[in-house]
Structure 1
Amino acid sequence: METVIAFIIIFGSLVFFHELGHFLFAKKAGIMVREFAIGFGPKILAIRKKETLYTIRILPLGGYVRMAGEDFDTVELLPGYRVGLELNDLDQVEKIYLNREISNPNILFLETESADLSKDLFIEGYDEEGELVKYDVSREAIIYEKGQETLIAPYDRQFDSKPLVSRILTIFAGPLFNFILAFFIFLALGLINGVPKNEPIIDEVVSDSPAYEAGMEAGDYITEVDGTPVDKWTEFTEIIQEKPGENVQVKVNRAGEIVTMTMIPSVVEDSGHKFGQIGVKYKPEFEKSPIKALKYGATETGTWIKRIFDLLGQLVTGKFSIDALSGPVGIYKATGDMAQHGVFTLMNWAAILSINLGIMNLLPLPALDGGRLLFFLFEGLRGKPVDKQKEGMVHFVGIMLLMVLMLVVTWNDIQRFFF
């Protein structure tokens, strides 16, 4: 139960901040947001505030911000369609009923001849006496159909009506907010728990390990690895991990004396990826400073962005196997493991996941934010947008491929953790 709660809180928070980025920038650009949803599937909770419906849905595996003008959002009244109209004091249409059987003396019935609920905002048709009449439509008109209410979206409130820069910022804001969230989590860790000194000092040497056999001792201060100066523990471990089975020369400061040692890191394999290990332990020490906490938040965010991009590069070049990728099951399992090590470890894990979510969404793949940004790039180069039907087809294919990939990584997770 602890794992379930931790997973829902962490993943829900990451999705919330991602969608919040889209939402705030859409509102800033004047785009009508029809729904702000956390999760997918049937609604658990729904609250309407002005023009936006805020929902929590049953599957906590994502979310979305539904903006006016996207996909099949617009309503088109075709000639011959019978509608009921309710007018306001200015004789503008404020309510449009698409149900064919309505009993209300205040409603006017028309057989539609032509209508525009986006740009010109009018409805023209034949009334009960067969006379052709035309009514202006209020910008706040509501469409009623089968118990559902939909506020019309004048063209200037639709996503596609906005300048290219505004659309780019609205889509990019989702991943951006994931990076911002990660920064604030690292900042909070630095303020509450302190900033790791990260000094490359050996705390313990494991017996019968490569480091033990080379003569390394507790208290040694690492200064250089294979000619590369080292002043952080993370720099030291990264170099060692990249050299499994290779000769490595390490220089340490031991009580003021520089000692040079040669060792061969053991080859350790995890999820199809090999890395080096020499058998030493590190005892983290922390210091509290608001200035250093700010720096820590920024540097950790930048470091993990670089690491994840490096990992993606290895995936493309074949150095990292797709079998090592994890989906929701793997993230759930890892979240449970992290929860056992305390709240600070869990917070650190949440920051890494937030960065990962931001980067994954920026990949130039159909159906992701990066795919949409790629189409905006084409629009900027061509001077006109890509045909909506073609773009929609590309995104549809992308969704199918992403679903296949999700099934593959989920199956990998199931085999890895349960068989």
Structure 2
Amino acid sequence: MSTVIAFIVIFGALVFFHELGHFIFAKRAGILCREFAIGFGPKVFAHKRGETVYTLRLLPLGGYVRMAGEDPEMVDLKAGHRIGVILNDREEIVKIIVNGKDRYPQARVIEVENADLEHQLIIRGYEDGEEEIKTFPIHREAVISEDGVESQISPWDRQFASKTLGQRAMAIFAGPLFNFILAFVVFVLIAIIQGVPTNEPELGKLTSDGAAKESGLMEGDKVISINGQGVASWDDIVTVIQKNPQAEIDFTVERDGEAMDIPVTPKVREIEDQKIGIIGVHSPVEKSFFGSISYGAKETYFWTVEITRLLGKLVTGQFSIDMLSGPVGIYVSTDTVAKSGIMNLMKWAGVLSINLGIMNLLPLPALDGGRLLFFLVEALRGKPIDRQKEGMVHFVGFALLMLLMIVVTWNDIQRFFLQ
């Protein structure tokens, strides 16, 4: 059960911060955000605050921010439509009832002649019992009620497409950006809690079952030499240990001002078919706020480069698609990491956040990177690509991504449960 909770918390946090990036920069640009959703499929929970509905949905496979203008906008009121309207004290329409007018006895009934819900914000038509056409102004935050479901109208200046290229690009780029920011914050917190690794020739924390503890070494011991050879850094210590699996080596350490000789026999660990020595000791650490900031930046950079390098191998064929992991693989890995402690689980969350950010920046349809690619084309040609054509490309891309997700998930199931 603890693994399930850890997986939900980590995956939920990654998706939440990703969508929060989209949401914040869309709002800053003045875009109407209709929904902030975590998950897909049927609603499990919904709460409206302001002009946005916050929802939790059944399938935990991502999330989205539904911005005005990205989907077909509202109901198209055509000539001859009979609608109900509710006006405020300034004779502005604040609610348009497309059907179900019987629920609103106070509504005035209008036969529409023409309407503009985006630019002019007016409805012109005949009110019941009158023969003269009237023009009714629409409040900018008016709502449309259809089958009992209310949706706020979006004037053109509140729609995604009305914003500058830079504003639109930033609203999309902010999602992956927030994943990198989240990873940086997580790595900084790890460093603040457990300290920043240093390269001093000292011993950090010892594992309970390691050769270092069994031989009598202690945390804080300053290593003077190994096998008579002086050491000047933690890296020197690691190099000697790794080169001597199952071979006794003599440590000379300084403890409480006294020199001590302690023999240690490193145990063996296999990494990529290579045997190396380990003694179960961590590097020394120091606690420093600015050091923690530096550590967070270095870790974020390191994992960004490492994950990008692995993706490059996938493109060049050096890395098989069978080795990719989906939600099932991530769950299994989370279970393994969770057993090794909260710090490792936090680091795993940081790495996953960077991975999510990079994957979303890939220039593929339906991903944020694909949308940014369309913005680049728009900047080069001086005008946007036809929205229907772009929408079709993203739809096909989304379908292919779902197919890839199914394949990867099946590979995970075979790898972890059917072998």
The equivalent of 1:299 in structure 2 is 298
The equivalent of 2:385 in structure 1 is 386
Alignment of 1:264-279 (within 5 A): 275=272, 277-279=274-276
Aligned partners of 1:76 and 1:116 also within 8 Å: no
Aligned partners of 1:204 and 1:280 also within 8 Å: no
CA–CA separation in structure 2 for the residues paired with 1:220 and 1:69 = 70
CA 1:138–1:101 in structure 2 vs 1: closer, same or farther (change >3 Å)? closer
Whether 1:94 aligns to 2:94 is: yes
List runs of 5+ in structure 1 lacking aligned partners: 206-216, 224-229, 241-253, 256-265, 269-274
The equivalent of 1:55 in structure 2 is 55
Secondary structure in 1 aligned to 2:358? Answer: helix
Aligned partners of 2:100 and 2:146 also within 8 Å: no
In the TM superposition, what is the alpha-carbon distance from 1:20 to its structure 2 partner? 0.7
2:278 to 276, 281, 297: 281
CA 1:301–1:412 in structure 2 vs 1: closer, same or farther (change >3 Å)? same
> Given residue 147 of structure 1, which amino acid in structure 2 is its aligned partner?
G
Secondary structure in 1 aligned to 2:13? Answer: helix
List runs of 5+ in structure 2 lacking aligned partners: 204-209, 213-225, 244-250, 253-268
Alignment of 1:197-212 (within 5 A): 197=198
Alignment of 1:98-109 (within 5 A): 98-102=98-102, 104-109=104-109
In the TM superposition, what is the alpha-carbon distance from 1:101 to its structure 2 partner? 4.5
The equivalent of 1:404 in structure 2 is 403
Aligned partners of 1:190 and 1:297 also within 8 Å: yes
> Given residue 383 of structure 1, which amino acid in structure 2 is its aligned partner?
G
Aligned residues: CA RMSD:
3.2
CA 1:218–1:153 in structure 2 vs 1: closer, same or farther (change >3 Å)? farther
CA–CA separation in structure 2 for the residues paired with 1:105 and 1:73 = 27
CA–CA separation in structure 2 for the residues paired with 1:168 and 1:354 = 21
CA–CA separation in structure 2 for the residues paired with 1:167 and 1:10 = 28
CA–CA separation in structure 1 for the residues paired with 2:201 and 2:306 = 20
In the TM superposition, what is the alpha-carbon distance from 1:56 to its structure 2 partner? 1.7
> Given residue 67 of structure 2, which amino acid in structure 1 is its aligned partner?
M
The equivalent of 2:264 in structure 1 is none
The equivalent of 1:22 in structure 2 is 22
* Deviation readout 1:40-62 (Å, 9 max, x if unpaired): 22222222111111122222221
In the TM superposition, what is the alpha-carbon distance from 1:292 to its structure 2 partner? 1.5
Aligned partners of 1:201 and 1:220 also within 8 Å: no
CA–CA separation in structure 2 for the residues paired with 1:144 and 1:183 = 44
CA–CA separation in structure 1 for the residues paired with 2:410 and 2:342 = 29
CA 1:10–1:104 in structure 2 vs 1: closer, same or farther (change >3 Å)? closer
CA–CA separation in structure 2 for the residues paired with 1:218 and 1:295 = 35
Aligned partners of 1:81 and 1:112 also within 8 Å: yes
Aligned partners of 1:122 and 1:135 also within 8 Å: yes
Secondary structure in 1 aligned to 2:90? Answer: coil
CA–CA separation in structure 1 for the residues paired with 2:296 and 2:94 = 51
The equivalent of 1:168 in structure 2 is 169
The equivalent of 2:289 in structure 1 is 290
* Deviation readout 1:168-218 (Å, 9 max, x if unpaired): 11111110010000001000110101112367999979xxxxxxxxxxx88
CA 1:141–1:379 in structure 2 vs 1: closer, same or farther (change >3 Å)? same
Alignment of 1:167-316 (within 5 A): 167-197=168-198, 275=272, 277-281=274-278, 283-285=281-283, 286-316=285-315
Aligned partners of 1:35 and 1:54 also within 8 Å: yes
Secondary structure in 2 aligned to 1:89? Answer: coil
In the TM superposition, what is the alpha-carbon distance from 1:287 to its structure 2 partner? 2.3
> Given residue 160 of structure 1, which amino acid in structure 2 is its aligned partner?
A
Secondary structure in 1 aligned to 2:319? Answer: coil
In the TM superposition, what is the alpha-carbon distance from 1:220 to its structure 2 partner? 8.1
The equivalent of 1:243 in structure 2 is none
The list of structure 1 runs, each at least 4 consecutive aligned residues, that deviate by more than 4 angstroms after superposition, is 198-205, 217-223, 230-233
CA 1:191–1:220 in structure 2 vs 1: closer, same or farther (change >3 Å)? farther
Secondary structure in 2 aligned to 1:279? Answer: strand
Whether 1:138 aligns to 2:139 is: yes
CA 1:119–1:70 in structure 2 vs 1: closer, same or farther (change >3 Å)? same
CA–CA separation in structure 2 for the residues paired with 1:124 and 1:23 = 35
In the TM superposition, what is the alpha-carbon distance from 1:108 to its structure 2 partner? 1.7
CA–CA separation in structure 1 for the residues paired with 2:125 and 2:82 = 9
CA–CA separation in structure 2 for the residues paired with 1:18 and 1:197 = 32
Secondary structure in 1 aligned to 2:102? Answer: coil
> Given residue 395 of structure 1, which amino acid in structure 2 is its aligned partner?
H
CA–CA separation in structure 2 for the residues paired with 1:219 and 1:306 = 38
Aligned partners of 1:33 and 1:67 also within 8 Å: yes
CA–CA separation in structure 2 for the residues paired with 1:308 and 1:170 = 24
Aligned partners of 1:17 and 1:177 also within 8 Å: yes
Aligned residue pairs: how many? 376
Aligned partners of 1:329 and 1:413 also within 8 Å: yes
Alignment of 1:64-83 (within 5 A): 64-83=64-83
> Given residue 399 of structure 1, which amino acid in structure 2 is its aligned partner?
F
Secondary structure in 2 aligned to 1:102? Answer: helix
The equivalent of 2:118 in structure 1 is 118
Aligned partners of 1:43 and 1:55 also within 8 Å: yes
Aligned partners of 2:84 and 2:101 also within 8 Å: no
The equivalent of 2:159 in structure 1 is 158
CA 1:199–1:306 in structure 2 vs 1: closer, same or farther (change >3 Å)? farther
CA 1:138–1:319 in structure 2 vs 1: closer, same or farther (change >3 Å)? same
> Given residue 153 of structure 1, which amino acid in structure 2 is its aligned partner?
S
In the TM superposition, what is the alpha-carbon distance from 1:144 to its structure 2 partner? 0.7
> Given residue 282 of structure 2, which amino acid in structure 1 is its aligned partner?
P
In the TM superposition, what is the alpha-carbon distance from 1:125 to its structure 2 partner? 2.2
In the TM superposition, what is the alpha-carbon distance from 1:290 to its structure 2 partner? 1.7
